[in-house]
Amino acid sequence: MTQQQTAGPPAAGHADPAEEFLDRQTPLSRIRNILHRYPALSPAIVLLVAVVVFGLLNERFLRVENLSLITQQVSVVGTLAIAQTLIILTAGIDLSVGAVMILASMVVAQLAVGSGMPAPLALLLGLVVGLAAGALNGFLVTRFRLPPFIVTLGTLNIFIAVTLLYSGGSTVRGSSMPGLLTWMGSTFPVGPVRISTGVVMMLLLYIAVAFILGKTAWGRHVYAVGDDKEAARLAGIPVNRVLMSVYLAAGAVLAVGAWIQIGRTNAASPNAGVDLNLDSITAVVIGGTSLFGGRGSIWGSLLGALIVGVFRNGLSLAGLDVLYQTLAVGVLIILAVSIDQWIRKVKS
């Protein structure tokens, strides 16, 4: 600015050279501003490009059966990503999402099959398990001020152990379960496509959470807490209550995820879903939500989950070894985080 001031009188047509200096934008910074404003935009572009490229590589990719399959494949991770997004938006991270979901699914299956409990009651108790797990995480994060990473690393191991102790390590097969438990795996035709109930349930959850995050004070407080905790506190937001409610909400979503998981795999297995916590983080990060909190969109996470699903499916249809899928996902994560860092540098 001092340069501007010493450069003599302002150029004709510009009332204030300082203003001009502040508002100067390059095409690149303009793109950055747009991406900054709409965090779901970059994953949307990536998904579109990926679909087009894989469609060109293999004509089978764009067939409706295949696309329907991809949505079913992402229904579980997509649901976990909802819980993960809520927590990451508060600048936290939850390594225990997969373990909580598996624990809830085992409780539901054991109660319904082993104890002969009515299916709706078993599902309700599964919800209680999810809420209790969320409450434990939230309690440790808010009361003891422990970093969420450490808390959920601990509870991850606890929940895995509890699941194995409770289930005795045995799998409950879907064929022995009441129909309601495996209902999420059933499909119904919509025109030429077969849609699974689990996918519909996941989408309903996305709509509900998107509504809550975007339209209610609670949603705004979640962003504010993740953005700057101290600023939120000074603005009169009950930070700990918001954090606690986020972990509880995540637990509830995970319980629904357990239901979807039982339907999708047609079983409840204590050994399933070991990588689901990392997969959900991957979906959220690729979806453009910042790991530093306060920035991101729930729809981005759905797109992120779809991107991972599309890459895995597309690469395998292209005849590439499964290891290349993992490689591609790794590259995607690093790209997504790099883009996020770049976007965050916007006009600081």
Partner 1 sequence: MTATEFQPAKTEVRQPILQARNLVKTFGRVVGLDGVSLNLYPGEVLAIIGDNGAGKSTLIKCLTGAEVPDSGELFVSGQQVHFKRPQDARVHGIETVYQNLAVSPALDVASNLFLGREERLPGPLGKLFRVLDTKGMRRKAKEELTRLGISTLQDVTVPVENLSGGQRQAVAVARAAAFGSKVVVLDEPTAALGVRESNQVLQLVRDLRDRGLPVILISHNMPHVFDVADRIHIQRLGKCAATITPQSHSMTDAVAIMTGAATA
* Residues that bind partner 1 in the complex, under the rule CB under 8 A: 1, 18, 22, 33, 36-37, 211, 215-218, 220-221, 223-224, 227-228, 230-237, 294-295, 346-348
- Separation between Cα atoms, residue 70 and residue 298, nearest integer Å: 19
- Which is nearer to partner 1, 279 or 340 (by Cβ)? 340
- Separation between Cα atoms, residue 296 and residue 327, nearest integer Å: 25
Q: What are phi and psi of 110, to 5 degrees?
A: -65, -45
CB of 43 to partner 1, least distance (A): 18
Residue 227 has which token pair?
Answer: 């953005």
CB of 185 to partner 1, least distance (A): 31
At 59, the amino acid letter reads: E
What HEC string does 260-315 produce?
HHHHHHCEECCCCCCCHHHHHHHHHHHCCCCCCCCCCCHHHHHHHHHHHHHHHHHH
- Which is nearer to partner 1, 26 or 348 (by Cβ)? 348
- Which is nearer to partner 1, 101 or 224 (by Cβ)? 224
CB of 208 to partner 1, least distance (A): 11
CB of 229 to partner 1, least distance (A): 10
CB of 200 to partner 1, least distance (A): 21
CB of 88 to partner 1, least distance (A): 13
- Which is nearer to partner 1, 122 or 336 (by Cβ)? 336
CB of 224 to partner 1, least distance (A): 4
- Separation between Cα atoms, residue 176 and residue 113, nearest integer Å: 7
- Which is nearer to partner 1, 37 or 60 (by Cβ)? 37
- Which is nearer to partner 1, 39 or 198 (by Cβ)? 39
219-227: Cβ within 8 A, 24+ apart: 222/86, 222/89, 222/90, 222/246, 223/89, 223/294, 223/295, 224/294, 225/90, 225/91, 225/293, 225/294, 226/88, 226/89, 226/90, 226/91, 226/92, 226/292, 226/293, 226/294, 226/295, 227/293, 227/294, 227/295
- Which is nearer to partner 1, 221 or 264 (by Cβ)? 221
